[in-house]
Amino acid sequence: MIQTLIALFLCGLLAEPELAQRGIEQRKIEYLISAVAELHDATFIRNGSEYDSRQAAKHLRSKLGYAGSRVKTAEDFITWCATGSSLSSEKYRIRFSDGRVRDTADYLRDKLARYEMAH
């Protein structure tokens, strides 16, 4: 009985860092989705159609749900959810108010790098 309790306690200690890391990655993913949602003056281009920031963030959340256990890190989120269409293979793009166009994945990787430097 005592050995079982000790084993469970040790498993809990080993799992704690993994759970903490998962929480950190979830915060990073939420930050990235929020960064998209806050781009009110940008247009998101997906499969040739244009969407506002609210619709783009909603789509990314939806893809995150579909990706399930494949997404463990913020980089996984960018790769599996924000790079492009799984149907057409077209890259997701952002057109900013000044006319610049960037791949959404590149934009989010830059945002992630800044986030990680600040935290």
Q: Kindly state whether residue 7 falls inside one of the protein's structural domains.
A: no
pLDDT of residue 4: 58
Give the strand pairing for 43-46 and 93-95: antiparallel
Report how far residue 53's alpha carbon sits from residue 75's, in angstroms, rounded to the nearest whole number. Answer: 20
Q: Running along the chain, 119 residues long, what does each successive block of 10 average in pLDDT?
A: 53 49 88 97 97 98 94 96 94 97 98 95
Q: Kindly state whether residue 12 falls inside one of the protein's structural domains.
A: no
CB 85 within 8 A of CB 47: yes
pLDDT of residue 84: 96
pLDDT of residue 66: 94
Q: Kindly state whether residue 18 falls inside one of the protein's structural domains.
A: no
Q: Kindly state whether residue 11 falls inside one of the protein's structural domains.
A: no
Query: Which residue bears the tokens 């949602």?
Result: 37
What is the rounded radius of gyration, in angstroms, for the C-alpha atoms of the chain? 18
Q: Kindly state whether residue 14 falls inside one of the protein's structural domains.
A: no
Domain count, the chain: 1
pLDDT of residue 8: 44
With a threshold of 0.95, does the pTM exceed it? Answer: no
Residues spanned by the domain of 52: 23-118
